[in-house]
Structure 1
Amino acid sequence: MRFSGLAGIAGIGFVIILITANLLLTAAGFPTPSEAASVDEITTVFAAGSGALRLASALLPTAWLLATIFVAGVYVCLRRDERARTDPWALVGLAGVLMQSVVFISVEATRLGLMSAAQHDTAGVAGLWGLYTALFGFNQVLLATALVGLSMFGIRGGTIARWHAGTGLLAATLLFSTATTSPYGVNGVNPLALLGLVGWLLWLVWIVAYSIVLIRDTPTPTVPTGHADPAAVGGRS
């Protein structure tokens, strides 16, 4: 299988895992960082829902691996075009995805720390929840960075459609706005939390659309060195 096709499948797999993990947590009653919840409510949920949290967290290493394969596929696929090889937007998008994966590891580690605190040392729950919401909020700027970089890279290289790039840039705007107001969500509710949710959903749509582009990718045949293309030299009668 071509790497671009593998990367496309990885992108779709990444989205499926994210949706599955979030459904597991939602079904178990875990509050999102944008929800107003008291320390007692947070403590109760994290103490009782350890099974769902452990399962959701166990899925995420695979998700991060798939995300890396996906973005590498986008980077390699688009850089085959001579014009795209020096496009700096590719590096912006690549950096955004890789940094997002690193920061979200911290988000998930903090969530597991919340579980431990809720079961053994409830005094630390409030502080860990504040750290979790702050990390989660600021992480959205890295999603926005990836969306801007890879959307600009794709549209400038003619690889993705205008609606696809527009979806990515709209999602980036919403996520960046939510990240900017994330300090107001610590010990409270981010006033732009709904915009962040819409941006996150658009981000998933954007990934699936990019994955389909990768799966459908057909490399342009190259002429071996030392052999001229007959059509290029008038070889056709």
Structure 2
Amino acid sequence: MSFSRLAGIAGMGFVVILIVANLLLTTAGFPTPSEIASPDEITTVIATGAGSLRLASALLPMAWLLATIFAVGVCVCLRRDERTRTDPWSLVGLAGVLMQSVVFTSVEATRLALTSAAQHDSGVAGLWGLYTALFGFNQVFLATALLGLSMFGIRTGAIARWHAGTGLLAATLLFATATTSPYGVGSVNPLALLGLAGWLLWLIWIVAYSIILIRRPPEPAVTPGRPDTAAASTST
């Protein structure tokens, strides 16, 4: 299997895992960013849905691995010419994907710490504030990934204008929500619904990119020690 196809499948898998994890959280009653939740409510949700919360967190290490494979596949497999230098925008996008994985690791670690705090009835309010802040600020790295890989795709002709437009719109919504995330600590971010819209567009954007990677024909193999077709035709 070519790396391009593998990266496309990884992108699809990443989206599936995110959807399943969020369904588990919703089923457990975990508050969304657009809902106000008191420490008592958080404690109750964790006490009744601890199993679903842990399962959702257990799925995410695979999601981060798949996201990395997907992002590297976009940067490497969709370059216009293997002999040209790396497009700076692809590095911006790759950095965004890696940083969102790092920051969201902290988000999940904080959510698991909330489970322990709720069981011992201590520190729930502080940990919930930290969780909310990390979750909000993480959206800037999603925006960075969308911006970088959308610009890379349109510059190389790898994606259509609507695809790039979807990515840039999602980046704008997520960046705006991340900017106002301090107002969501202890309350509700006034742009929380815009962040949700940006997140949904981000999933659509990944699926579209994954389809491009899967459909990309594999690079022709060159036998070591033998000139390829282009070189042979030049020499004759």
TM-score, normalisation: structure 1: 0.92
Which residue is 1:170 aligned to?
169
Which residue is 1:225 aligned to?
227
**Further displaced range: 222-231 or 143-152:** 222-231
From the superposition, tell whether residues 58 and 227 of structure 1 become closer, same or farther in structure 2 (CA, over 3 Å).
closer
Which residue is 2:65 aligned to?
65
**Structure 2 gap segments, 5+ residues each:** none
Alignment of 1:72-111 (within 5 A): 72-79=72-79, 81=81, 85-111=85-111
Which residue is 1:196 aligned to?
195
**1:98 is aligned with what amino acid?**
L
Alpha-carbon deviation of 1:84?
6.1
Q: Distance in 2 between matches of 1:200 and 1:84?
A: 33
Which residue is 1:216 aligned to?
215
Q: Is the 8 A contact 1:144 1:176 kept in 2?
A: yes
Q: Match of 1:123, SS?
A: coil
Please list the CA deviations of residues 121-162 of structure 1 after superposition, one character each: whole Å capped at 9, or x if unmatched: x23000000000000000000000000000000010000010
Q: Match of 2:31, SS?
A: coil
Q: Distance in 2 between matches of 1:219 and 1:161?
A: 21
Question: What's the C-alpha RMSD, in Å, of the aligned pairs?
Answer: 1.9
From the superposition, tell whether residues 145 and 84 of structure 1 become closer, same or farther in structure 2 (CA, over 3 Å).
farther
Q: Is the 8 A contact 1:134 1:182 kept in 2?
A: yes
Which residue is 1:55 aligned to?
55
From the superposition, tell whether residues 226 and 91 of structure 1 become closer, same or farther in structure 2 (CA, over 3 Å).
closer
| Superposition misfits of 4+ residues, deviation over 6 angstroms | 229-233
Which residue is 1:133 aligned to?
132
From the superposition, tell whether residues 226 and 16 of structure 1 become closer, same or farther in structure 2 (CA, over 3 Å).
closer
**2:207 is aligned with what amino acid?**
V
Give the share of equivalent positions with the same residue, in percent: 80
Q: Is the 8 A contact 1:79 1:85 kept in 2?
A: no
Please list the CA deviations of residues 155-191 of structure 1 after superposition, one character each: whole Å capped at 9, or x if unmatched: 1000001000000000000000000000000000000
From the superposition, tell whether residues 226 and 152 of structure 1 become closer, same or farther in structure 2 (CA, over 3 Å).
closer
Q: Distance in 1 between matches of 2:99 and 2:149?
A: 14
Q: Number of aligned pairs? A: 233
Q: Distance in 1 between matches of 2:93 and 2:176?
A: 18
Q: Match of 1:86, SS?
A: coil
Q: Distance in 2 between matches of 1:84 and 1:128?
A: 47
Q: Is the 8 A contact 2:15 2:203 kept in 1?
A: yes
Q: Match of 1:177, SS?
A: helix
Please list the CA deviations of residues 107-132 of structure 1 after superposition, one character each: whole Å capped at 9, or x if unmatched: 00000001110111x23000000000
Alpha-carbon deviation of 1:47?
2.0
**Structure 1 gap segments, 5+ residues each:** none
From the superposition, tell whether residues 124 and 84 of structure 1 become closer, same or farther in structure 2 (CA, over 3 Å).
farther
Q: Is the 8 A contact 1:83 1:157 kept in 2?
A: no
Alpha-carbon deviation of 1:231?
7.3
Q: Is the 8 A contact 1:89 1:149 kept in 2?
A: yes
Q: Is the 8 A contact 2:4 2:218 kept in 1?
A: no
Q: Distance in 1 between matches of 2:231 and 2:133?
A: 58
**Further displaced range: 206-215 or 46-55:** 46-55
From the superposition, tell whether residues 228 and 126 of structure 1 become closer, same or farther in structure 2 (CA, over 3 Å).
closer
Which residue is 2:6 aligned to?
6
